[in-house]
């Protein structure tokens, strides 16, 4: 299983370069940037990183065709791919906070993602012949990128449900989930496998990735505090995530107290009034990789369970001290999984 990292949102181009160089030195396969509201443009930040690295792959997550027309997305992605020498990747999604902030409604989400990926693939092969794409939602006339010199970028679909997983298996190079537990990964991998009829899939070796939060510190209390502060973001504590390790009664309890979790996030505190610490610990232990350096062997075991469930790569989400997280992952995790 390959190891990727997600750097925190809001970083400058120079910070992205520094973390990317560090990731490359530590044997990490790829660096991913979030696509958040009012963040530096991920394509631009990564274009700076592309010129400062040699092997590290890179890409934005997730870009929606509702916020960025597939033609404009293709230009940005293919430019990044040229600058990086063919190391660009992208995760195309059907929603996201940027789209919501723009007041856009994701109508016909599956169709929009399908047409976007189809056009991106055609655009990456348009050096010799112009592309005319006529979809139900998107139309592009006479697209020809004569300036292309590199192999095509990898096209992944953000898939947190069975329909997107099936679509990804049929038309994309891979899919990326977010915060999925091991049982959820197993089910999604099965769905993708079932959807890949002989000769139907584009990629000969379909990639399956999963974002998962990394909270490992030299100090255990500091690690647990960080995990608690970001806890509500782990699948937004939705029932489909919780029911993979909690009872229905416990899941209902968490849902009833969601205002408490959101208040803790807004105040950046790890305190959850009225929620037992034992339940918080179970949420952290099942939805994150959290601990101190004495927990490394246990965490490697958890990652191997993900690999056995079907992941070909894991994208570890970094938080308060991303440089230290990269060094830990390079020192302990990369050698153990590759």
Query: What mean pLDDT comes out for the span 192-219?
Result: 84
Helices (H) and strands (E) in the chain, counts: 15, 11
b (16+ CB within 10 A) / e for 176-189: bbbbbbbebbbbbb
Which domains, from first to last, does the chain contain?
2-218+292-337 (3.20.20.30)
In this prediction the pTM is 0.95
The pLDDT, as a whole number, for residue 165 is 97
The pLDDT, as a whole number, for residue 74 is 98
The pLDDT, as a whole number, for residue 205 is 85
The pLDDT, as a whole number, for residue 197 is 66
Residue 41 scores a pLDDT above 80: yes
Which residue spans within the chain are E strands per DSSP?
A: 2-6, 30-34, 57-61, 89-92, 131-134, 139-143, 154-158, 174-178, 207-216, 288-291, 313-317
Residue 200 scores a pLDDT above 80: no
pLDDT per position as a tens digit, 113-163? 999 999 999 999 999 999 999 999 999 999 999 999 999 999 999 999 999
Residue 198 scores a pLDDT above 70: no
The pLDDT, as a whole number, for residue 229 is 96
The whole-angstrom separation of Cα 312 and Cα 330 is 18
Residue 203 scores a pLDDT above 80: no
Radius of gyration over alpha carbons of the chain, in Å? Answer: 20
H-state helical runs in 288-321: 296-309
The pLDDT, as a whole number, for residue 105 is 81
Residue 22 tokens read as 């560090």
DSSP β-ladder status, 57-61 and 2-6: unpaired
Average pLDDT, the chain: 95
Cβ–Cβ < 8 Å for 336, 300: yes
Q: Is the peptide bond before 146 cis (omega within 30 degrees of 0)?
A: no
pLDDT per position as a tens digit, 61-79? 999 999 999 999 999 999 9
Confidence of residue 103 (pLDDT cuts 50, 70, 90): confident
The pLDDT, as a whole number, for residue 280 is 98
The pLDDT, as a whole number, for residue 48 is 97
Residue 176 scores a pLDDT above 90: yes
> Which residues pair with residue 290 across a beta bridge?
215
Residue 199 scores a pLDDT above 80: no
Quote the percentage of the chain above a pLDDT of 70: 98
| Collapsed DSSP state (helix, strand, coil) of residue 239 | helix
The pLDDT, as a whole number, for residue 196 is 80
> Is 250 exposed, middle or buried (CB count within 10 Å of its CB: 0-12, 13-18, 19+)?
middle
């Amino acid at each position: 299983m390959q190891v990727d990292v997600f750097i925190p949102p809001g970083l400058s181009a120079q910070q992205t370069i520094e973390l990317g160089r560090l990731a490359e030195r530590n044997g990490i396969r790829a660096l991913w940037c979030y696509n958040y509201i009012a963040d530096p443009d991920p394509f631009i930040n990564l274009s700076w990183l592309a010129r400062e690295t040699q092997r590290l792959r890179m890409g934005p997550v997730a870009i929606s065709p509702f916020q960025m027309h597939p033609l404009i997305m293709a230009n940005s992605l293919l430019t990044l791919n040229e600058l990086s020498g063919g190391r660009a990747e992208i995760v195309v999604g059907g929603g996201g906070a940027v789209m919501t902030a723009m007041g856009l409604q994701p109508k016909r989400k599956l169709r929009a993602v399908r047409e976007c990926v189809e056009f991106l693939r055609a655009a990456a092969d348009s050096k010799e012949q112009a592309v005319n794409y006529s979809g139900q939602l998107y139309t592009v006339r006479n697209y020809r990128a004569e300036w292309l010199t590199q192999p095509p970028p990898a096209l992944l679909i953000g898939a947190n449900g069975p329909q997107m997983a099936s679509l990804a298996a049929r038309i994309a190079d891979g899919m990326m989930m977010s915060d999925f537990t091991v049982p959820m990964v197993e089910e999604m991998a099965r769905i993708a496998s079932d959807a890949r009829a002989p000769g139907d899939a584009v990629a000969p070796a379909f990639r399956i990735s999963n974002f998962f939060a990394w909270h490992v510190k030299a100090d255990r209390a500091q690690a647990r505090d960080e995990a608690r502060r970001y806890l509500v973001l782990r699948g937004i504590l939705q029932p489909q995530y919780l029911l993979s390790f909690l009872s229905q009664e416990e899941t209902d309890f968490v849902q009833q107290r969601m205002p408490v979790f959101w208040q803790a996030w807004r105040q950046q505190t790890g305190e959850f009034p009225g929620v037992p610490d034992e339940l918080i610990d179970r949420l952290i232990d099942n939805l994150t990789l959290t601990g101190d350096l004495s927990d490394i062997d246990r965490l490697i075991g958890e990652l191997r369970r993900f690999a056995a469930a079907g992941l070909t790569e894991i994208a570890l989400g970094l938080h308060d001290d991303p440089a230290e997280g990269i060094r830990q992952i390079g020192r302990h995790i990369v050698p153990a999984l590759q």
